[in-house]
Structure 1
Amino acid sequence: MTAIATLILAAGRASRMRGRDKLLEPVDGTPLLARICAAAKHSAETTYVTLPTPDHPRAAVIRDHCLGARPVYVPDADEGMAASIRAGIGALSRAYDAVMILPADMPELTASDLAQVVAQSNSTPDQILRATSADGTFGHPVVFPRRYFAALSQLTGDQGARAILREAQHQGAVICPVPLPDQHALTDLDTPEAWAAWRQARKSPPTG
């Protein structure tokens, strides 16, 4: 059994939301950040959540809604996603064999989706795993075995772990796809317009 931790990246500025915080947007009556933490809770041993500061409203969501989640504060969060990944990897116990990394702004990811990724990690513990949409397009979450932790802890900039994925493929590593339903692995909502369109689509009955 692979000892796997979940790392939820929630320290970004959400600057494209024009004053709103996408991670506090309600989804079925629950803040998005609380929803994704609840999904993760049932999948991996421990959930770590990167946050900008202890007094940020997102930190209150973690305290009030996400029992057992471990906050990781990122003082240099303005650098971009790499700062969150570095901080999160630095907070992990040495007991973990792998980490499942996912952005917090993905409202369609479910507990079942994350459990499917973790189950695949238990079957292929030495491979990088990457969730895909139903049509095979790579998305999130991504699982990295421990041998990549050092590289993850040295990332810089706002490209996340893409450079590590490219280098792994260049060296012949297999990126194992984990298909999830529909667009679950791809849907992220960064603007008020995207949120409005997504909510409208959820209300509309399927056609055809």
Structure 2
Amino acid sequence: MPTASCIWKSFQTSGKKHLILTGDRGSGKTTLLSALFPCPMPGLTSWAVPKQGVYLKDNFSSKTVQIGRFNPDNTGTENRMLPVLDAFSQTGVSFLRACADVSSDWITIDEIGYLESTCPEYQNALSELMACKHLLMVVRKQKLPFLDSLLAQQDVFVLDLDQPYGNAGCILMASGQGRRFGENKLLTDLAGKPLIQWALDASAGLFTHRLVVTVHKEIEQLCLSQDIPVLLHPFPDRNDMIRLGMGEISSFIDRCAFLPSDQPMILPETIASLLLCAKNLPDFIWRPCSSDTVGSPVIFPSCFFEELKNLPPKKGGNVIVSRYPNLVRTLPVSYSEELKDIDTKEELLAVSQYLGQQSSNRCWRFDDCGAFAP
């Protein structure tokens, strides 16, 4: 699950205005809202009392109204509450309009679901509030026209907790010969594990399909020992590696990240943030940056898959990046060191020393947490 800081960074980078959290029951929507806004926020909160009703509270004034009542005769299992339309059209609408007058730029609404979809006046008031405030909304995962329309709005950043990163693949590029290094650098120890293991760990759990493409039998064995899919091949050039990898996974995914195996300081949170951006702005090529320096991984949407399979000899994905500069978007990294790769033993030593200096600072590697600032 993405951290609060990961979500915040992705949302800011996207340039969108509102944030929606959705997902099945028990997915942690309200818990995540609390992580994003640890302090009480102006807005609306609703909750259900089993076999009684649903209640709506104005967080600012603490006024409460019943907006749904239990229907014991409803034979369905999805919607057991009947809307109290007068409560929505009068009190609920007044709650939303009052939110427009508070000083905070951000308003939270937890949650929006079936009952809200029955009242046009409430929906219109919500639209008016979206025009003048930033909204963080928890939206019930249910196929209803009103809920679908909220998720589809162009200025809304959607985080689906059931599949936050979408249907994305990752090709880990592990076919370098290490000529400048003098040996297979990917198996060289860095802080107690092989160099390639850092990329394997950073990308774990983020992709629906992941594939290591390598010419090294030892790396194949390392991946197999961890049940990581791997493709061993004899070809020398980068375009071959990309073509073979795409041939294996492209038909199963909506976008593909290319991650070098010699970039040990890339944070999982950075990869996750890139994936969140790519899911919400799916027509663009996404890559990380630090000031004017761009780096990897690079995420390509499916519209570029055929071009990736037919790159010029010895060339990589940068051919496509250069061909479509207007379609490239960047995400700032937390630390410039994330973009460093290792080509020489001197660079490996420098990274090893850096990691040693940072070992007591868990915030760098694991706990870069943050929250929305109202």
Where on the TM-score scale, by shorter chain, does this alignment land: which range?
Answer: 0.7 to 0.9
Counterpart of 1:113 in structure 2 is 270
Aligned-residue offset at 1:95: 2.5
Taking only the aligned residue pairs, the percentage that are identical comes to: 24
Superposed CA offset, 1:101-145 (max 9, x none)? 111100101222211111111111111101112x24110010000
Superposed CA offset, 1:20-74 (max 9, x none)? x211122331212122112212211121110115xx111121122x33x211222
Aligned counterparts of 1:163 and 1:193: Cα–Cα separation in 2: 29
Aligned counterparts of 1:59 and 1:15: Cα–Cα separation in 2: 20
**Structure 2 length-normalised TM:** 0.49
Q: Contact (CA 8 Å) 1:44, 1:118: kept in 2 or not?
A: no
**Structure 1 length-normalised TM:** 0.86
Aligned-residue offset at 1:4: 0.6
Q: Aligned ranges for residues 86-125 of structure 1 at < 5 Å?
A: 86-125=243-282
Q: Aligned ranges for residues 175-194 of structure 1 at < 5 Å?
A: 175-194=328-347
Superposed CA offset, 1:59-104 (max 9, x none)? 121122x33x21122221x22x222111111111412110011111
Aligned counterparts of 2:355 and 2:202: Cα–Cα separation in 1: 19
Counterpart of 2:92 in structure 1 is none
Q: Contact (CA 8 Å) 1:34, 1:62: kept in 2 or not?
A: no
Query: Which amino acid letter does the alignment assign opposite residue 61 of structure 1?
Result: L
Counterpart of 1:40 in structure 2 is 203
Q: Contact (CA 8 Å) 1:59, 1:71: kept in 2 or not?
A: yes
Counterpart of 2:187 in structure 1 is 24
Aligned counterparts of 1:52 and 1:26: Cα–Cα separation in 2: 19
Closer, same or farther: CA 37–201 of 1 in aligned 2, 3 Å? closer
For CA contacts below 8 A with separation 6 or more, give which structure has more relative contact order.
1
Counterpart of 2:306 in structure 1 is 150
> Structure 2 regions of 5+ residues with no counterpart?
1-162, 359-374
Counterpart of 1:84 in structure 2 is 241
Q: Where in structure 1 do 4 or more consecutive aligned residues deviate above 4 Å?
A: none
Q: Contact (CA 8 Å) 2:170, 2:209: kept in 1 or not?
A: yes
Closer, same or farther: CA 87–175 of 1 in aligned 2, 3 Å? same
Aligned counterparts of 1:106 and 1:139: Cα–Cα separation in 2: 10
Counterpart of 2:232 in structure 1 is 73
Query: Which amino acid letter does the alignment assign opposite residue 73 of structure 1?
Result: L
For the aligned residue pairs, the C-alpha RMSD in angstroms reads: 1.8
